[in-house]
Amino acid sequence: MLFKYLPKERVDVLENLKIRFSPLRSLNDPFESLPLIDIEDKVETAVEDLLKELDQIWERTPISERTPENKQLLEENRQAVYDGARSAMEPSVVGQGLMDIISDNLGVLSLSRSNTSLLMWSHYTGSSTGYVIAFDESHDFFRQHDLKGNIVRPRPVIYTEKRSYVSEKHHNWYQKLLCEKPLEWAYEEEERLFLTHIDKNSSIGKDEYEMDIILTSFPKEAISSVYLGYNCSPDTQKKIEAALDSNNIDKPVYRAAMSKREYKIEFEAVQST
């Protein structure tokens, strides 16, 4: 199963059966939209071609104009072309350019392989006042199209201390580009589902990053169970139960509790009323 942690304010996910595939710029890791893309080979080729063009221009210049001053100007232009090309094709600049192109057209649904993370319950459910939806990852909903149009399942995030340089030479370039995060985030045990056919006309507003908020429908059959936070209020519980009832979702509901003997979360089934 895969789990989605949600604050109490997002009971609407169960009420409306709609969830957000967030743009990369709206994710909480500041490095999400700053990949390093290595096009070193293409840089060298492009620079060589530009310098050859300058040399050809010099060869076509009348002899009377091939003065030392003009030669010096040529050399200065050669250096400017070289420096400009290197700067424009620096890995972080190329990565930012690519993100500018795809960010508005690519959505990410961040899920977790764990429903017992103390940090996740604290950070993403409002200190456990919210809830978690458990999804059946074998459902067809978790077969989306990637950037190449291939059908893929959720991809695990790789956590690393060193930023990768992404190159077309990598057989797993897609994962390196979109599924790597700093080691500090490893507690999330994240898996990502991508959506590339986002309808911007259905935006319901902007988030704090000025990115469109677009909700995508998901089938209720993809839900396996629901987990209430250990600080979930009776009012929030009633709203969640009402949402399940109104959508005819007959799935187990559990309440989280802090273990009395260990640093862990335990669950107990909630009796239906």
What tens digit of pLDDT does each residue of 78-130 get?
A: 777 666 666 667 777 766 766 766 766 778 899 999 999 999 999 999 999 99
Give the global pTM: 0.77
Q: Is residue 245 part of a domain?
A: yes
Q: Are 138 and 187 contained in the same domain?
A: yes
Q: For residues 270 and 228, is the Cβ–Cβ distance under 8 A? A: yes
DSSP structural state of residue 260: S
Q: Is 161 part of a structural domain of the chain?
A: yes
**C-alpha distance from residue 248 to each of 15, 141, 219, 221, 223 (Å):** 11, 19, 12, 10, 12
Q: Cα(243)–Cα(239) distance, rounded to whole angstroms?
A: 6
- Per-residue pLDDT of 227-236, as tens digits, reads 999 999 999 9
Give the per-residue pLDDT at 31.
73
Q: Are residues 12 and 72 in the same domain?
A: no
Q: Which long-range contacts (CB under 8 A, 24 or more apart) does 161-170 make?
A: 163/31, 163/36, 164/36, 165/36, 165/37, 165/38, 165/91, 166/35, 166/36, 166/37, 166/38, 166/95, 167/37, 167/38, 167/39
Q: Examine the domain organization and report whether 83 and 6 are in the same domain.
A: no
Residue 242 and residue 203 share a domain: yes
pLDDT(208) > 70: yes
- Contact in structure between 211 and 23 (CB atoms under 8 Å): yes
Backbone φ and ψ for 162, nearest 5 degrees, come out as -120, 135
* 230 sits in which H/E element: none
pLDDT surpassing 60 at residue 273: no
Q: Please tell me which residue, 188 or 104, carries the higher pLDDT value.
A: 188
- Looking at the fold, whether 51 and 28 belong to one and the same domain comes out as no
Task: Please give the span between the terminal C-alpha atoms of the chain, in angstroms, as a whole number.
Answer: 26
Q: Same domain, yes or no, for 175 and 115?
A: yes
Per-residue burial over 169-188, b if 16 or more Cβ lie within 10 Å, else e, is eeeeebbbbbbbbeeeeeeb
**Domain region containing 156:** 2-35+106-269
Residue 195's pLDDT band, with cuts at 50, 70 and 90, is confident
Contact 130, 11 (CB under 8 A): no
Give strand ranges (E) for 102-168: 107-112, 131-135, 144-145, 151-152, 155-156, 158-160, 165-166
Residue 99 lies in a domain: no
CA 264 to chain centre: 28
Calpha distance 272→253 (Å, rounded)? 8
Tell whether 121 and 212 lie within a shared domain: yes
Is residue 45, in this structure, part of any structural domain at all?
A: yes
Strand partners, 130: none
C-alpha 193/C-alpha 21 separation (Å) is 8
Residues 180 and 238 in one domain: yes
Residue 190 near residue 157, CB atoms below 8 Å: yes
The verdict on 45 and 166 lying in the same domain is no
Q: Give how many domains the chain has, as a whole number.
A: 2
Better-scored residue on pLDDT, 24 or 245: 245
